[in-house]
Amino acid sequence: MIKSCVIGLSKVGKIHCESLLKLKKTSLNYVFDTNHELSKSVSKKFKCKTSKNFDEIIKKSEIKLFIISSPTSTHEYYIKKLIKYKKIIYCEKPILKNNKNLKKIHNSIKKNKIKFCVGLNRRFAEEYVHLKKILNRKRVKIIQIISKSANHNINLSTRNGGLFFDKGFHFFDLACWLGKSKPHQMIVISRSISSNDFLKKNDFSDAIINMKLKNGVNVEMIFSRKNREGNLENVKVYGDKFFTELNKYADKKNLYKDFSIRYKNSYFECLKKFLDNKKNLLLEEGLLTQKICAEALSKANIQ
């Protein structure tokens, strides 16, 4: 049994708690959040322990697996600490808020032989798995990705790295995965279509991105933090005499629901795959995606 702890207990942290209870090879032993009232109520709900002092938990050698689901602005602190104690790490996306110390952290993961997973869970969602299987047999020309959230909170966006690192992370990764290549060129229009409340906080509310992959596939993306209709996510794929789209394979009743409902099972599948495997999961893909996010952000800043 792999004894574990979840750090950060909002919606996504609680989903991880449920997965750890559901998996046969893990037990949920601790939860930790800087909001101690929340820690207490979650520990009661999931019948596990908590502490006001994170050091007390990390020092317990029997607690091997830590899931980081606190704001992205805190990831670097926890990753460094967990590496020191040689823990197994599942880190919510993105790995870091920016790439300043990305190389150092990557080297430290390698040097200390840390088992690490980047939570790119969309790859494990049923509808994405279905779409990927179909695309493996097709010649893709254009991928259109649309992700609009219903009135997203600005402070939440900035603590999690802003539009490109927070929202973009899943979709830049999915574009490379579905398009079977890496970016070659990118055009980003964002400042002129973003709202002032986001711009004032050095963030962006909207973006239109055109990305050409090295194999010639064109990826068109639309991101928005303010969508009157609710949450919207779809991927349309065009090829020679062929068209398909993600939402064709999705559960129709969840189409406008947020990630915690529409993609709930994918967190479990991603964690299961990580623990069933001896190796890291999606670390290289996560590192590449960090670089794509940074490039998109720098283009948004100058255009």
10 Å Cβ neighbour count for 280? 17
156 part of the interface to ligand NAD, by CB under 6 A: yes
Closest contact distance (angstroms) between CB of 265 and ligand NAD is 12
Shortest Å, Cβ 263 to ligand NAD: 6
Nearer to ligand NAD, 92 or 203 (CB): 92
Tell me how far, at minimum, the Cβ of 124 lies from ligand NAD, in Å. Answer: 11
Footprint of ligand NAD on residues 7-26 (CB under 6 A)? 7-10, 12
In whole angstroms, give the CA distance from residue 79 to residue 92: 11
Q: Is 172 in the site for ligand NAD (CB under 6 A)?
A: no
Does 159 bind ligand NAD (CB under 6 A)? Our answer is: yes
d(CA 145, CA 123): 14
In three-state secondary structure terms, 288 is helix
Question: Closer CB to ligand NAD, residue 166 or residue 206?
Answer: 166
Task: Evaluate whether 211 touches 225 at the Cβ level (below 8 Å).
Answer: no
Toward ligand NAD, which CB reaches closer, 31 or 140? 31
- 3-state SS string for 72-90: HHHHHHHHHHHHHCCCEEE
Q: Out of 74, 181, 227, 254, name the contact with ligand NAD by CB under 6 A.
A: 74
**Checking DSSP bridges between strand 140-148 and strand 116-119, what pairing results, if any?**
unpaired
* Alpha carbon separation from 132 to 1, 136, 170, 174, 177 (Å, rounded): 33, 6, 15, 10, 8
Number of residues that bind ligand NAD (CB under 6 A): 24
Q: Does position 70 bind ligand NAD by CB under 6 A? A: yes
- Nearer Cβ to ligand NAD (140/297): 297
- CB 72 to ligand NAD: min, Å: 4
> Sign (positive/negative) of CA torsion 279, 68, 97, 94?
positive
Question: Between residues 93 and 148, which has the closer beta carbon with respect to ligand NAD?
Answer: 93
C-alpha 238/C-alpha 217 separation (Å) is 10
Question: Which residue's CB is nearer to ligand NAD, number 85 or number 242?
Answer: 85
Residues of span 112-141 touching ligand NAD by CB under 6 A: 119, 121
The structure tokens listed for 47 are 């019948």
Say if residues 264 and 15 touch (Cβ distance below 8 Å). yes
Q: Cβ 267 to ligand NAD, closest distance in Å?
A: 7
CB of 93 vs ligand NAD, minimal distance in Å: 5
What mask, x for binding ligand NAD by CB under 6 A, covers residues 83 to 102? Answer: ---------xx---------
> CA-CA distance, 109 to 114, in Å (whole number)?
5
Least distance from C-beta 288 to ligand NAD, angstroms?
A: 17
Of 297, 290, 296, 300, residue with least CA distance to 93: 290
Residues that bind ligand NAD (CB under 6 A): 7-10, 12, 32-35, 38, 69-72, 74, 92-93, 119, 121, 156, 159-160, 166, 259
